[in-house]
Amino acid sequence: MTTDRKSKAKVILKLLEQHYPKAHCTLGFINPLELLVATVLSAQCTDERVNMVTPGVFKKYPTAVDYAAAPLADLEEVFHSTGFFRQKANSIKQICQTLVEKFDGQIPASLEELVKLPGIGRKTANVILGNAFGIPGIVVDTHVGRVSQRLGLTINKDPVKIEFDLMELVPQAQWTKFSHQLIVHGRQICAAKKPKCPACFLLTHCDFGQKQQKS
């Protein structure tokens, strides 16, 4: 990692903090299990839609035992409006069965144990660690990956490699909030298809944006 990239990252971090000081997880939850379920449901779905569905889900299935024992058809029905409901129902049921069998129904508070759960990768694990347990983690979703590439903070495309690149540039205490700040920026400004480069406060630090301005 070059010194120039580290210096650039410091400037970007300061600007992100100025513009998104209250960036946070927009999924509704009150405990680690609820966040895990909400995060799985958020795949290919908006947080707003998930937050409409989960209050009823959380009331009906308050524990991992409840999800593990539920018929798949019932889970599919309550998850239906989030899309890919069959896959999500099967995934959550398997995860909760594993939680019951190996973790006494509790969510483990370590990345090493979380990624052993069926279908849980580093992204979801870091969401849970950072937001439910206060353990810093960089979440590389599509927004974080796209924005960090465009800003020149990484040249990698693999999410895990991007995560490790960003870990070298961002102070550990800021990992979780930094992820939320890039997600907000990706949603509001740096969209995949029509980025609002002229309105971007990071434009002077973004090679991609400057090239877009010239084209």
Give residue limits of the domains in the chain. Answer: 3-24+138-214, 32-132
Quick one: pLDDT at residue 215?
Answer: 74
79-124 pLDDT per residue, tens: 999 999 999 999 999 999 999 999 999 999 999 999 999 999 999 9
Please identify which of the residues 88, 93, 123, 177 carries the catalytic annotation. 123
34-67 pLDDT per residue, tens: 999 999 999 999 999 999 999 999 999 999 999 9
Could you tell me the fold of the domain covering 32-132? Endonuclease III; domain 1 (1.10.340)
In 3D, which of 3, 52, 2 has the Cα closest to residue 27?
52
Predicted TM-score of the model (pTM)? 0.94
Tokens 């593990």 correspond to 68
- Catalytic: 47? no
Please identify which of the residues 88, 141, 165, 177 carries the catalytic annotation. 141
Hey, what CATH class is 3-24+138-214 in? mainly alpha
How much is the mean pLDDT over the chain?
Answer: 96
- Catalytic: 207? no
Q: How far apart are alpha carbons 66 and 133 in whole angstroms?
A: 22
Q: Which two tokens stand for residue 81?
A: 């409006």
* Predicted confidence band of residue 214 (pLDDT cuts 50, 70, 90): confident
Q: How far apart are alpha carbons 120 and 118 in whole angstroms?
A: 6
Residues in the chain: 215
Quick one: pLDDT at residue 1?
Answer: 52
Q: Which two tokens stand for residue 91?
A: 């995934």
Checking if the pLDDT of 20 tops 80, the result is yes
Render 161-181 in DSSP notation, one character per residue: HHHHHHHHHS-GGGHHHHHHH
Q: What is the largest CA-CA distance in the chain?
A: 58
Quick one: pLDDT at residue 2?
Answer: 67
Contact 183, 145 (CB under 8 A): no
Checking if the pLDDT of 212 tops 90, the result is no
Q: Considering Cα of 54, then 60, then 63, then 69, what sign does the dihedral take?
A: negative
Checking if the pLDDT of 75 tops 60, the result is yes
Q: How many CA atoms lie within 13 A of 122 on its CB side?
A: 13
